[in-house]
Structure 1
Amino acid sequence: MEASFLGGAGEVGRSAVLVDDSLLLDYGVLASDPPQYPVQTPEPDAVVASHGHLDHVGAVPALLKGRRRPDVHWTPPTGELTQLLANDTLKLHGGSPRCPFTDEHVSRLGEVERRHGYEEPFAVEAGGTTYEVTLFDAGHIPGSAHVLVDDGETRLLYTGDFHTDDQRIVAGTTARPDADVVICESTYSDVTHDDRADVERGFVASVEETLWEGGTVVVPAFAIGRTQELLLVCAAHDLPCYVDGMGTEVTAMLRHHPEFVRDAEALRRAAGHARVVTGRDGQRRRITDQPTVIVTTSGMLSGGPAMTYIPAVRGTPVNKVTMTGYQVEGTPGRQLLETGTATIDGRPMSVSAQVEQYDFSAHADRDGLRGFLDAYRDTRVLVTHGDRCGRFAESLRAAGFDASAPTLGTTVSV
């Protein structure tokens, strides 16, 4: 078996691993300006997607150009999330070189998708080989999966993104399937997350203080996973909140797949607790005069309703902007945290409102990664999806693992 790393090697974004030149695992986008896509445009016979985040499935419709119709395998939430993301990409960039597909290619997803549950092995024909593929709950977002690929000789485990600790929206992964080689993410390989309960308590205390002082709290959040987590937190602590952006559609969709969330009833209550913003800028500006929480896209301030909210609250020191997710280098969110300014619609803006960051990460940290990999001490480990892949692989080797970090564009025999 061979694995070619077309994206996600030594970077966070555009994940794409091609197995034996025929079976593609993920096909994502790197959130930069302009967006970056995998270094090759493969023509696979089949695709398996680990989960519905832009950096893992954002370019999947581009695989359906011309006469190409590879089957695309995923869980039901991943399929629906990919469709949502693709339509949003078309709305933002359709018809420009920034978008590698059209609405015609997106419509073909419904023809080629094949949906699967967890731990239900299925056969995939690709390149003359029949692979047995099994998806395991990865504990990252609803529908996220570890992907186990077995060609009869080698068992390859592609972890995708995963978390070993519980979140309100999903429980941490407990799956440790037997494997001969593991392709492992490493986003937070040099970070130790604070205890999630402590993070939540700190967030709630900060929000309550701002609301008591009459301020507004803007919470930029990823539409998929993070928005629902924050709505669950707000509902659990009875914090008044609005929800804006794609996260409203995602929340509604996930309620149709209760088996993929940790507590479907809690999600129902959280959805009812939050007031939905209809999308008019006039309404958004009025909301920013209220003592309330606004959970809104985008999580890195690179678009979405946040472009209205940040300018509206930035000039008042009692207001707060609370960042809750990973900020890719070069994004306005990263800029805001590092400099106290944010470039909104091409204009640098100083932000007098308080800016805070809370670690609501949906990824395993250093201890979580090592704890997961303890089950694979006699297994070859290939480290990907991180800014410091080589360093993490070196630390694993020092601990006795057979570990390395493939470079972008290389092919490794496994």
Structure 2
Amino acid sequence: MVKVERNHEVDCINWQKKLEILAGGDFSPYYKAWAWKKFLLEGDGEDLDLLVVMYYRMRDYQLAYYFAHLGWERKKNFFYRFYEVLSLLQLGYYEMAADIFWNSWERFCMELENIPVCAAEIMDMFVVFFFPSNSLPACIKEYYERNSNRPEVMLYALQEKILMSENSGQKKKLLDYIADILVYQLDGNRALYNHACTLIAVFDEKRRERYLSYVLEEGWLEPLVGEYIGERAWSLNNRDFIGTKKGLMPDKEKIRNQTKFYYQGLKDETFEIISYPWSYNAGSMHIVKVQDKVILFDLGDAAGESNGGLHMQDFLEANGINWEDLKAVFISHAHFDHWGSLGILKGKKIPVYLTEDTYNLIGKVDPSIFREINICLLREDRPVVIGDSISVEPFANGHIPGSVGFILEAEGKRLVYTGDFCLHDQFTVRGLDLSFLNRKPVDVLVMETTYGCKEANGLNYEDNRILLRRMVEELTEVGIKVLLPAFAIGRAQEIIAVLADMDHRVPVLLAGQAVPVFYYFVNRIAGFKERSSYVSVLSSNGVESNLILYPVIVASSGMLKRGTTSYHYLEKLLKRGKFAVIQTGYMEEDENISFIKAFNDYRLVWLKVNLSAHAGYEDLLHILEFLQPEKAVMVHGGGLEGF
């Protein structure tokens, strides 16, 4: 662990001291505060490199990766690329790290001769990627030759001998040394410890099961180990494995060969699907024609731009759908873009099916919407029967409390509509269990693709939770106020649960439509009341007083639309001094957001942490690989990148 000096606060760092720190020298905690000040108050990215190495050496790898990624995007300096890769390795994202490294390995080696770095840290890359010793960059080669007793150097030398040796006895002795001695010396370096366990699991048949269990328990799967678990992992039907492990990527070619892809519509011998055209701010509605019946999955509207559902009504009429044709409407969850056009059903007897939680949550934000609508509450264990031979069964899909997808069965065929879903657990709701959907073959999968493009930062949900918590801790520690725009239902409450884990809690204000939903969660979600006890949800003070009292404000809407509570606080903060906006999920890049971001690095700092309740890109691939549908219809997004 790096030695941290305890001395007086610093106003600046001379160039020589900075070079010493970058090359592995000791640093004072005041240097971190100084680098934050430069980054936040002056919009200065020149010292992002200091933040990167200091967080990396403090083993704060989520923050180290965030600033390395930001530094690379801003500067295109390979120093940041090095620490992107190193941080990803320490977090277990082997394939992401390998893609970055091997796509530019020659440039990596060349830049190492010109950039001040800590060779002891950089060495880890060359160990994990089995880089040949005769091609090592000169500075790393020098470190390797001068530090033969260092554990990372010993591991590098031993693995090269194991790969080259054809003598089973010699190979066993080398593996014994790694297992009996070296593994314990590497315990403080998660990437190399896991790499050593992987070597033993792959090359030592007698120890394989034990060391595979270590690797699987940690959840980090180097590509090297994939072939040794392969189909066995998928046959487990283990929801904790699917979509949560960081190293084992789905086989895209296999997915392409097994499934035929469609976008926003399909017509075959059993089903006809017509989706309302997707755009960044449109409601969600999917017409399903089966036999002589018509049903709808969702009936949403555009957030902030509602016209009472008239555009949905026009779309139905344009596709020849009369009210008497419509046999049922199924609402997946309580976000406005999935139910906002329900008003067009007032006075009609068409049954609208939704869960009790969804009914209650919608009622918190729009108490009058259900008047004159034929509401029918769903039960997960009781399918809805339409006509004589069509059944629709709900299943929990892990998006927000009460959110469900639907399984439609007719004429021996099975259609699965995912709705908005995610595989990971959140504090407020458990993730989708794919094994439930896999009881029978899936003929048609209608799947959301909100994140159909690869995520910008690529971290999984748990790492992003840690990143958000640490970011708020660090910002408030240096006196920066934080605004977290959030959707009223689900996201705001999840943020509250995340911030409950802060080492030093600070006063947090929850404002806007998220407040009545908050009280529903307090009474409905086990443990939420205790985790949210530090939050103020009602205040008799005005906005100006709240800005003085509360370092952190969580407010709806998540889109920062004009006229909403979050936008009102933003306007006031812009007049007060530098502050931070942390975007935690999807936000439409419209003129309003472009105007706000124009103040970035001047009046505010805009940061982004993906705390989404949607399936990520890899999750979408996992569900396709696991369910193996004959046909897949991509909806609620721009489709799936690469397909």
With the length of structure 2 as denominator, give the TM-score of the two structures.
0.51
- Aligned 1:256-271 pairs, distance under 5 A: 256-258=523-525, 264-265=526-527, 267-271=528-532
Structure 2: stretches of 5+ with no match in the other structure: 1-269
C-alpha distance in 1 between matches for 2:602 and 2:574:
5
Contact 2:523 2:529 in 1 (8 A): no
| Pair 1:211 & 2:480 matched | no
Compare the two structures and name the one with the higher strand fraction: 1
1:3 correspondence with 2:272: yes
Equivalent in 294, 297, 300 of residue 28 of structure 1: 300
Q: Does 1:114 align with 2:376?
A: yes
Are positions 1:78 and 2:354 aligned together?
no
How far is 1:32 from its partner? 5.8
Distance 2:595 2:618 in 1: 28
8 Å Cα contact 1:316-1:353 kept in structure 2: no
C-alpha displacement of 1:33: 4.2
| Counterpart check, 1:191 vs 2:450 | no
The residue that corresponds to 2:521 in the other structure is 254
Distance 1:34 1:150, change over 3 A: closer
Instruction: Give the equivalent residue in structure 2 for 1:363.
Output: 614
Match of 2:542 in 1: 283
Change beyond 3 A, Cα 1:335–1:199? farther
- Superposed, 1:57-96 pairs within 5 Å as 57-64=339-346, 66=347, 68-87=348-367
Q: Distance in 2 between matches of 1:255 and 1:290?
A: 23
| Alignment CA distance shift 1:354-1:277 (3 Å) | farther
Q: CA deviation at 1:86?
A: 3.5
Instruction: State the shift of 1:236 in Å.
Output: 2.1
Deviates more, 1:156-165 or 1:29-38: 29-38
Q: Aligned pair 1:327/2:587, yes or no?
A: yes
Within 5 Å, give how 1:383-402 maps onto structure 2.
383-386=634-637, 388-389=638-639, 392=641, 395-396=642-643
- How far, CA to CA, are the matches of 1:256 and 1:373 in structure 2? 36
Kindly indicate whether the alpha-carbon contact (under 8 Å) linking 1:216 and 1:293 is maintained by their aligned counterparts in 2: yes
Relative CO higher for 1 or 2, CA cutoff 8 Å, sep ≥ 6? 1
Deviations 1:242-299 (A, max 9, x none): 11111111122234434xxxxx11x111333210134x6x522211123521110111
Aligned-partner Cα distance in 2 for 1:79–1:163: 21
- Which residue of 492, 507, 520 corresponds with 1:240? 507
Task: Name the % identity.
Answer: 26
Measure the CA separation in 2 of the matches of 1:3 and 1:113: 26
Write 1 or 2 for the structure with the bigger share of helix.
Answer: 2
The one-letter amino acid of 1:69's match is K
Q: Using the alignment, how far apart are the partners of 1:222 and 1:325 within structure 2? A: 9
Distance 2:390 2:554 in 1: 42
User: 1:97-176 maps to which residues of 2 (within 5 A)?
Assistant: 103=368, 106-109=370-373, 112-118=374-380, 120-125=381-386, 128-176=387-435
Q: Could you tell me how far apart the structure 2 residues matched to 1:310 and 1:351 are?
A: 14
Larger radius of gyration: 2
Matched, 1:19 2:288: yes
Structure 1 position 241, deviation (Å): 0.6
- Letter of the structure 2 residue corresponding to residue 46 of structure 1: A
Query: What is the SS of the residue equivalent to 1:236?
Result: coil
Change beyond 3 A, Cα 1:133–1:12: farther
Contact conserved, 2:356 with 2:378, CA < 8 A, in 1? Answer: yes
Shift of residue 319 of structure 1?
1.7
Aligned mates of 2:595, 2:272 — CA distance in 1: 35
The number of equivalent residue pairs is 352
Instruction: Report SS of the residue matched to 1:80.
Output: helix
Partner of 2:334: 52
In 2, Cα distance between equivalents of 1:4 and 1:32: 27
Q: 2-side partners of 1:351 and 1:124: how far apart?
A: 59
Contact preservation (8 Å) 2:585, 2:612: yes
**2:465 is the alignment partner of 1:200:** yes
Q: Secondary structure at the match of 2:589?
A: coil
- Distance in 2 (CA, whole Å) between partners of 1:113 and 1:328 is 32
Q: Post-superposition shift, 1:129?
A: 4.9
Give the TM-score of the pair, scaled to structure 1. Answer: 0.77
Q: CA deviation at 1:305?
A: 1.2
Distance 1:138 1:333 in 2: 30
Is contact 2:280–2:588 with CA below 8 Å preserved after alignment? no
Q: Is the CA contact 1:301–1:331 (under 8 Å) kept in the aligned structure 2?
A: no
